[in-house]
Structure 1
């Protein structure tokens, strides 16, 4: 029977799903049609398994709604596997007879309540479980238990197969057989898989759902949110998602700086920036009124506020680009402003990325040379680079998932990839302060997620202090725990 006649569309509409006190899925908007096969992916702790379980009717919907959930879901997951084992152990605890319970045999686990015994028997033989049918289920290995779970799900004529990491724990031969069987039933049953590894994704998958941690409520870190859905036939969007997962999940760390291109040392006991009652005004109009702000080394900040609240003005006080920086009490990188320091003595300690910089950076140099230009603070590359600088640029390209594009012209890249490269360019010298002025401005959802993932990586893996500027204080980044919100005067 064709899947479309067995199952209608599944819809989660602004659904918040609670799993006791363990985890919450926040405001999930998702539609699955019968002709689609999905993979759920994302970083650890994002709620991938929770979303798969929600499709099977597990969890309590506390807000929003669900429609069309499968009446009979074939769910295979480590949680369901552990639950079956726990159920078997509980039988032992409840046994009041003077005999030792051997537990439920495998043949009962598979064939009791089985909807398709012929298929079950064929899969038992194919997966090599015939000799284990009389053995107690809880005596099986992890891989053997997983095979039993898969057979139960496949032979139960499910309306939908929900497979959470179905290939983990399987030997190569069994893995190949399972993949072939799943490919043979794609026209009869829709499938949703949770996969951490993109290289395990079957060819028949049509769509990908990307989850990430929901950081909107710092008091409740155990939340996940569906960030993106991608049609696999959209090659550009699919490649961007692959790049995002690379950034979020890779073990690669932020590359080291070039030891031959080190900055002067700073006193670690002194703040990087200290503004004392800083004021910006034009005539009688006060933009920023008596702002006290101290940025210590290692403190990552998010600066937010509406248009006209003075965010850019405050940044230019720090960088020395605002004429009123000399009429305010400002201490930066060991210098009291207005005591004879040059603007370049200040700027050498700052990495800066903004939309305006991206507009200015219109050269046709390669991606690799864009990163190398950060060592020379130039737009374009006009100085000879060292072998070590080239090596560091290659490491940044690897971190960004852009190694294959090292020689592509910068001005031929997408707007989002250009932004990633400019952040890497600003970071190559590991400046004490990295200022990212509205780095997501003009980016679509996918590229915005890429940029935020890179900022998270920098916060976690370098000695650089990050100052992230945006409109919305609630748009939080993991690793940034200090917030300053400016208000518009008047």
Structure 2
């Protein structure tokens, strides 16, 4: 049995739909669908049970009998029970349908049903109303219904939620015993719950099927684990080191104010009469075609452009040209670019790369404190890299290097973090890793972010100010 979804768009309500899904489930494959909350995991699983309104595309090979376990299916069963309660008309109190009747209605094999009831320790609940069960008990009923129907396909949406430890182990073992006869698709958030028999993983994001990987592909599996870790982890941005103090800025003043800025080379104006103000805790996306002046504009802020002295540039309380040094400016800025990554060609360990951010050095040449080491460890935990703390930086993938350099730039909690095309040169998985980290920084820190990119699809939640430059 092969199930094919080709260019499939499915609408579920006014607020959500799956878009252009291309997916093939071949024989002997068992899939996990994962992603963040609201990404479309449950919706994709529900499509396999013929839920949703197909707008375009095709789906072929769906089996006749699909065993579905989900919170939505459970809610529908409870809603059906509530409809039976006509107490106002009948002048009686409805007790609801007994568990036994609900199970018998779905079972195609009485002997199998009895075995499952015993396995799930539900014998004592058979005469009780389904509506009176606890969350865990009602979950067990849903699982037994699906399994006892002897389906051609099992679709299990978070099947382990609400189960006690013993039942969870039993269920995993029982599902493992079925893999030769029943293909399975599970929706799971936690990587540590993925059963050993899972062969493939689908990653959903904003209603789109972004990644499909073979579990045996160790590199792709590790990257997907890291992406989900960044997207769903409760870890927050580590605090700054109280002993590495950046001078306090006036919160009433803007971080950056550029008035009537013009940058020109000979007679050619790259930027003409531009005003731009960046307030504390504002996040900006800067875009524009090649040659529109993005890099020149950033170098005015950092103090690296010679024309900053002939323009009206106010940064971090300094009027440029009033006697301040470039290092007085740069202490307030974290900067990440492809050029920096080219320069950072050292073999020091990952922990040391992050610590080097305290000293603005490429490599680490100073004795660090225990507190700085602990903060670096917290950043590694956030990135899902704790076990690689002593791995050489120059042995990392290109995408992981970019993540480390962003952490290095953030370790001092600068008032301003400039990310100059941080996704340049990254494949899709690493691009999403970097975007996830930037999103976390925007949500969990007081650092203002300037995010430079060319691609409108690389939007970041939390960035709601936009400056688009035009080529003159």
TM-score higher than 0.5 here? yes
1:48-93 C-alpha deviation (Å, 9 max, x unpaired): 2222112211111224433333332211011111110111011113
1:97-154 C-alpha deviation (Å, 9 max, x unpaired): 3433322222221122532332222211222223322222222222221111111111
Structure 1 counterpart of 2:108 = 115
Distance 2:315 2:429 in 1: 36
Structure 1 counterpart of 2:195 = 202
Give aligned pairs, total.
Answer: 472
2:260–2:274 Cα contact (<8 Å) kept: yes
Backbone CA RMSD of aligned residues: 1.6
Structure 2 counterpart of 1:230 = 213
Distance 1:36 1:66 in 2: 18
Structure 1 counterpart of 2:85 = 92
Distance 1:56 1:94 in 2: 34
Shift of 1:187: 1.5
Structure 2 SS opposite 1:324: helix
Structure 1 counterpart of 2:3 = 9
Residue 149 in structure 1 maps to residue 132 in structure 2: no
Q: Alpha carbons of 1:66 and 1:286: their partners in 2 closer, same or farther (altered >3 Å)?
A: farther
Structure 2 counterpart of 1:132 = 125
Shift of 1:285: 2.3
- Correspondence list, 1:265-344, <5 A: 265-344=248-327
| Matching residue within 25, 28, 45 for 2:21 | 28
Residue 59 in structure 1 maps to residue 42 in structure 2: no
| Matching residue within 325, 331, 335 for 1:352 | 335
Structure 2 counterpart of 1:248 = 231
1:473–1:483 Cα contact (<8 Å) kept: no
Structure 2 counterpart of 1:220 = none
1:302–1:473 Cα contact (<8 Å) kept: no
Shift of 1:36: 1.4
Distance 1:485 1:178 in 2: 54
Structure 1 counterpart of 2:30 = 37
1:233-263 C-alpha deviation (Å, 9 max, x unpaired): 0111111111112111111111111111111
| Structure 1 residues without counterparts, runs of 5 or longer | 1-6, 215-223
Q: Alpha carbons of 1:404 and 1:21: their partners in 2 closer, same or farther (altered >3 Å)?
A: same
Distance 1:473 1:9 in 2: 33
Distance 1:26 1:442 in 2: 26
Distance 2:10 2:272 in 1: 44
2:87–2:93 Cα contact (<8 Å) kept: no
Structure 2 counterpart of 1:165 = 158
| Structure 2 residues without counterparts, runs of 5 or longer | none
1:473–1:485 Cα contact (<8 Å) kept: no
Distance 2:88 2:51 in 1: 29
Q: Alpha carbons of 1:56 and 1:396: their partners in 2 closer, same or farther (altered >3 Å)?
A: same
2:4–2:22 Cα contact (<8 Å) kept: no
- Correspondence list, 1:304-453, <5 A: 304-453=287-436
Distance 1:436 1:55 in 2: 41
Distance 2:62 2:277 in 1: 52
* Length-normalised TM-score, structure 2: 0.96
| Matching residue within 439, 463, 486 for 2:446 | 463
Distance 1:394 1:19 in 2: 43
1:95–1:101 Cα contact (<8 Å) kept: no
Shift of 1:229: 1.9
1:278–1:290 Cα contact (<8 Å) kept: yes
Distance 1:65 1:271 in 2: 53
1:56–1:70 Cα contact (<8 Å) kept: no
Residue 19 in structure 1 maps to residue 2 in structure 2: no
2:332–2:416 Cα contact (<8 Å) kept: yes
The runs of 4+ residues in structure 1 deviating greater than 3 Å are 93-96
Shift of 1:22: 4.1
* Length-normalised TM-score, structure 1: 0.93
Structure 1 SS opposite 2:86: helix
